[in-house]
Amino acid sequence: MKIVAILTATGLAAASFLVFADAGAGKHGGHRGERLKAADTNNDGLISKAEAAALPRIAQNFDAIDANRDGQLSSDEMRAFHQKMRAAKGAEHFKQLDKDGDGRISKAEAQANAPRMAAHFDQIDANGDGFVTPEEMRAAHQRHAKAPK
């Protein structure tokens, strides 16, 4: 399961510029939550475009994050945008490992490009067909995220 952790960490690191968590909730509360709270100068639980100026990465992506186009960013919008970006980065990482472009990673591709994944290949390859699909990779990530630490 270490490969799942490594792949998850890689995907999260690639998208870490957009890690927006609910201001005081979950495992991302800490420093980021404090920055969001501090930026929310009127304490309405939303980040306006003016307030986002204190958070350059959020300000830079404000319009893309503001899904309902109300000029305010809710924690739900920030979380949804983060998940979308993380999924996009995960898909890009998958494409990099899928050297032959067939939409799946063979054991040989894993051995050549992701030795740690190769070490856990059979666990990730849920249907045992000798290939890891994006769905199997997502399922492995989800299993790892739910596993007791």
Q: What is the dihedral of CA 132, 111, 107, 14, to 10 degrees?
A: 10
Summarize pLDDT for 45-74 with one digit per residue, the tens. Answer: 999 999 999 999 999 999 999 999 999 999
Summarize pLDDT for 109-130 with one digit per residue, the tens. Answer: 999 989 988 999 999 999 999 9
Is pLDDT above 80 for 10? no
Q: What is the pLDDT of residue 60?
A: 95
72 against 23, higher pLDDT? 72
The pTM of the full predicted model, rounded to 2 decimals, is 0.57
